[in-house]
Amino acid sequence: MLAKVNACAVIGLDGVVVDVEVDLTPGIKPPIIIVGLPDVSVQESRERVQSAIRNTGLEYPRKRVRVNLAPATVRKEGSAYDLPIALGILIANRQLPPQCLQDALVMGELSLDGSVRHIRGVLPMAAVARAQGYKRVYVPAEDAPEAAIFPDLEVIPVSSLADLFQHLVGQVIIDPQPALAVEQVSALVQTDFREIKGQEHVKRALEVAAAGAHNLLMIGPPGAGKTLMARALPSILPSMTLEEALDVTRIYSVADALPEGIPLLKSRPFRAPHHTISHAGLVGGGNWPHPGEISLAHRGVLFLDEFPEFGSRTLEVLRQPLEDKIITISRAQGTLTFPANFQLVAAMNPCPCGYYGDPTRVCTCAPGIVTKYQRRISGPLMDRIDIHVEVPRVDYEKLSDARLGEPSAVIRTRVESARQIQRERFANTSLTSNADMHPAQVRQYCSLDESCRGLMRTAMNQLQLSARAYHRILKLARTIADLAGSPHISTIHLAEALQYRPRVSDV
């Protein structure tokens, strides 16, 4: 008897329905043959499935089992095929009715005792089931809240093969997982701006960066608060829409990086990889590519501390996703594209010892060492960073002051107002913020009056700005004007934008 169970593969960030076809033929060696472009982890299903069926108290057929995973052109990896293969064997062996899984999608890893384990990528699997008209999905009980994000899809949480068998034969029915109440999902606790002492000009730069989704670089001595302020940035970013939250959660589901007990991410991501991270760890990769840190920072913040300590090859690969908001990874098996619409925030010391230019501590670095250190970041990459701000040490009076600063909620209100102006401005385009503007939009929305043109002409000559830097200053000035509620860019907005350009080193 031939049996068919619907399973799912994850290619990149998208689910693809896979037909698990099981056929029993005379003979007992080899006991299971799996074809259809499976990887090693799928081939290992043979041992898990046999033991799970026997240890559940069910009959394993004394026949040769052939399993075909169709379409054969799609590469299959992971352990999510264990449960559908086991159910296909039970249907082919006439222990389950043939039509019991006709309009359902099944996924799950089996333990040797028949219990069903967690798998990655449940959200895109549930999404493709819903899109293709399946009425229900059978998923590991641990992953059921993640699949229950879609209220019109029946989600059956499965704890063991024995429980599912009894459910399918009608002995003990498993109650469906209740639909996830999105409004009841709590956001992660974030650092509040009111806890940051001093550094008013840096907090202003972070507010401007948040209002227009601009990239930012902080330069200052150790212990000045660069990391603390970077970690506080997500607390003033606009709240994610449900569509954005699903977009981010899908990436974390495929990467198996969802925090325990949080089926939907409502807080914007904050990723802070160490400077020893590999190229593949940052951009994504592997034999079959998986998302890297820049994709895990999608819709959020990618914080690179000790910026010059990252490998030059690792940093230069950021140039394309900073412009295109995607990262494309090519392998022999195929090419995959992952989203990478992140906001880059970087921090660095001014020199290897960290105290070049400090008014109280003497720098021990030779001038040539300082110059070499600062030039580890290439000009093209520095050009893609809109805001450069110096972070001085905080004096005792400000640190010991008991008064709290302006809370993040108040700053976020101003940021939301500026973003609303931008949403209305770009209503009929694919753009979402000022930082995304192309030269055509810059020309349309960032026009300057005569006094502003004179200021800009002087700045171009003195700072030797590139064409990219010129456009970034205009986009930054447009964001500052939006924060002020001004329909036009004035000299005060342009002057503040120019202050965020890097200063020419005199080393």
Which residue has 């501590």 as its token pair?
Answer: 361
- Widest distance between CA atoms in the chain: 89
Note the pLDDT of residue 15: 93
Q: Where are the beta strands (DSSP E) in 307-383?
A: 326-331, 334-339, 343-348
Q: What mean pLDDT comes out for the span 144-149?
A: 93
The more confidently predicted of residues 184 and 22 is 22
- The pLDDT tens digits for 316-328 are 889 889 988 999 8
Note the pLDDT of residue 332: 67
Asked if the 2-180 domain carries CATH number 3.30.230.10, the reply is: yes
Instruction: Name 338's bridge partners.
Output: 327
| 29, pLDDT greater than 80 | no
CA distances to 162, 225, 229, 427 from 200, rounded to whole Å, are 62, 12, 11, 33
Residue 22: Cβ within 10 Å count = 25
| 7, pLDDT greater than 60 | yes
Structure tokens at 391: 């972070």
- The pLDDT tens digits for 480-493 are 999 999 999 999 99
Are 495 and 454 in contact by the 8 Å Cβ rule? The answer is no
Which pairing describes strands 284-285 and 136-140: parallel, antiparallel, or unpaired?
A: unpaired
| 507, pLDDT greater than 50 | no
Q: Burial-class residue 83 by CB neighbours within 10 Å (0-12, 13-18, 19+).
A: buried
pLDDT, averaged across the chain: 91
The more confidently predicted of residues 164 and 73 is 164
pTM (2 decimals)?
0.90
* Ramachandran bin of 225, using left for φ above 0, alpha for ψ from -120 to 50, beta for the remaining angles: left
How is the beta sheet containing 216-219 ordered, strand by strand? Answer: 270-271, 301-304, 343-348, 216-219, 387-390
Note the pLDDT of residue 224: 87
User: Which residues touch 403 (CB under 8 Å, ≥6 apart)?
Assistant: none
Which pairing describes strands 387-390 and 216-219: parallel, antiparallel, or unpaired?
A: parallel
Rounded to an integer, what distance in angstroms lies between the CA atom of residue 421 and that of residue 481?
10
- The pLDDT tens digits for 341-362 are 999 999 999 999 988 988 888 8
The more confidently predicted of residues 504 and 83 is 83
- The pLDDT tens digits for 447-474 are 999 999 999 999 998 888 888 889 999 9
Are 130 and 246 in contact by the 8 Å Cβ rule? The answer is no
Structure tokens at 37: 């472009």
Note the pLDDT of residue 387: 95
Rounded to an integer, what distance in angstroms lies between the CA atom of residue 476 and that of residue 385?
11
* Superfamily of chain region 193-417: P-loop containing nucleotide triphosphate hydrolases (3.40.50.300)
| 185, pLDDT greater than 70 | no
Which pairing describes strands 2-11 and 343-348: parallel, antiparallel, or unpaired?
A: unpaired
Using CA atoms of 324, 326, 331, 333 in order, give the dihedral in degrees to the nearest 10. -130
**Nearest Cα residue to 305 out of 228, 206, 386:** 228
The more confidently predicted of residues 507 and 98 is 98
The band of 279, judged by pLDDT with boundaries at 50, 70 and 90, is: confident
Using CA atoms of 70, 74, 77, 78 in order, give the dihedral in degrees to the nearest 10. -60
Query: What residue spans define the domains of the chain?
Result: 2-180, 193-417
Rg of the chain on CA atoms, in Å: 28
Q: H helices within 255-341, ranges in order?
A: 279-283, 293-296, 312-316, 319-324
Are 70 and 36 in contact by the 8 Å Cβ rule? The answer is yes
Are 249 and 279 in contact by the 8 Å Cβ rule? The answer is no
User: Which residues touch 173 (CB under 8 Å, ≥6 apart)?
Assistant: 167
Rounded to an integer, what distance in angstroms lies between the CA atom of residue 253 and that of residue 123?
6
CA distances to 17, 234, 260, 387 from 72, rounded to whole Å, are 12, 43, 34, 50
The band of 61, judged by pLDDT with boundaries at 50, 70 and 90, is: very high
The band of 506, judged by pLDDT with boundaries at 50, 70 and 90, is: very low
